[in-house]
Structures are given as structure tokens and as C-alpha cells.
Structure 1
Amino acid sequence: MSERQPLQILLKSINNVVQVKLKDGKTFQGRLSHCDSYMNLCLTSAEELDGDEPIARYGEVFIRGNNILFIKPDAGALDFAEEPKEKEKEKSKEVKGKK
């Protein structure tokens, strides 16, 4: 069950591209290099976006977790989020079959 927790999804998104929307309306996109339990993030090859267009490029940015509105992981990083559900169903079937 812990696999589906937001922090676990974020940790598995390390080294993948994420998009981060801040409470002030700014949007950043970059490769997630670090995160902590407060969801403070460090992005490399970061860009500030206006819609889908980059308006500024940064080598590295640090974003405090309390400024984040939402984080959008790469689609590939989301694929694993469904796997634990299927594994849990299989395990429960095995347990029921043993009774």
C-alpha cells in the first residue's frame, strides 16, 4: 500500500522529468534530482514555462514544498503506480485460496 503514497511516487520519479506548478502561478519543468519528506524539490535542467513555452532556463532550481500546488510526474513514472493494486489483488487471491 505504501507504494501508492504521494512521496513514494515522487521518490520513484527521481531522474525523470516532472512539471511543478507553484501557488503563485509559476510552472517549472525539469529533471527531479532530489526530494525530501517535506517535498522540497531540486530540479536540474529546469525551465520556467508559460503554458508549454519555456520563458527562462535555469541550470538548477530548489523549490520549497510549501510553495507547491501540484507536481505532475512523467507519464512513464505513473505506470508503476497501478502495479501494486494488481499485486495486492493477486496476493489476496492466494491467501483466500490457502484457507
Structure 2
Amino acid sequence: MLPLSLLNAAQNKPMLVELKNGETCNGHLINCDNFMNITLRDVYQTNSDGDRFWKLKECYIRGSTIKYLRIPDTLLDAVKEEQVRAREVGRSTRGTGPGNRGGRGAPMRGRGGRGGPMRGGRGRGRGVQ
């Protein structure tokens, strides 16, 4: 399972984020991007010693500062089941439909033959001298 697919499924769900500097942020995931930058809402931030707390309306966290993410186990199970279902559907339709030619022996459109002049196709020798 890819981490970004899990994060995309976790939107609007509660999670705990521990940063590399030891601080933690508890909140609901609003958004994430391909760099794993995340935005949380209704955040409780704790310093690295655990003795100071802040309540924030919204918090943006750069992906490179994240040590780990803790998400609910129920969400993890749901994403696994969804990926299994998607894989089974993908297997049943493989090799059919427009653009697929059954997977064997048929040439791809526009790529057959030896190529045009000066293309270096098969059996052309070294060219004109």
C-alpha cells in the first residue's frame, strides 16, 4: 500500500503527526499533496517535552519534517479492502476494450514497418554514400 493513497483516503479523518523535532499535532486531515505536505484542522499541538499545548484552527506541515503519522486502524483496513477490490476488477477487464488488442501478436498502430527515409529501420544498411 502506498502512503499517499492511504493519506488521500484519510481526508477528514483524525490523525496524529509526530515531527522530527519531537512535536506532535493532533487534528483532522484536510489535504495532502505529492510531497506529503499536509494541512490539519482543529489541531492540538504539543511541544517535544509534552508540557506545553496549543489549540490551532488550522496547521500546515511540510512533508520533509514528518517523522510518522498515526491513523485509525479501521481506515487502514478499509483502504486495503478497496485496493483488493480494485485489483480484482482490473484483472477481469485486462486485455479488452479500445486500444488493447488482446495482448499478443498484433502490431501497435503507427509503429510497424521499417520507418521512413533516414530513420535507421531494420535492413537498411549504412545509408547512401
Give the TM-score band, short-chain normalised. Answer: 0.7 to 0.9
Q: Structure 2 regions of 5+ residues with no counterpart?
A: 93-129
3-state DSSP of counterpart to 1:33: strand
CA distance in 2, matches of 1:52, 1:87: 42
The answer to whether structure 1 residue 69 and structure 2 residue 67 are counterparts is yes
The answer (yes or no) to whether the contact 2:9–2:79 under 8 Å persists in 1 is no
Q: Which residue matches 2:19?
A: 22
The answer to whether structure 1 residue 40 and structure 2 residue 40 are counterparts is no
CA distance in 2, matches of 1:35, 1:86: 23
Q: Specify which structure has the bigger relative contact order, considering alpha-carbon pairs within 8 angstroms and separated by 6 or more residues.
A: 1
Q: Which amino acid aligns with 2:73?
A: A
Of all paired residues, the percent bearing the same amino acid is 27
Q: Structure 1 regions of 5+ residues with no counterpart?
A: none
The alpha carbon displacement at 1:85 in A equals 6.9
Which one has the bigger strand percentage? 1
Q: Which amino acid aligns with 1:62?
A: Y
The alpha carbon displacement at 1:80 in A equals 1.6
Q: Which has the larger radius of gyration?
A: 2
3-state DSSP of counterpart to 1:9: helix
Q: Which amino acid aligns with 2:26?
A: Q
Q: How many residues align?
A: 89
Q: Which residue matches 1:13?
A: 10
Give the alignment's Cα RMSD to 1 decimal. Answer: 2.7
Which one has the bigger helix percentage? 1
The answer to whether structure 1 residue 31 and structure 2 residue 31 are counterparts is no
Q: 1:16 to 1:28 in 2, by over 3 A?
A: same
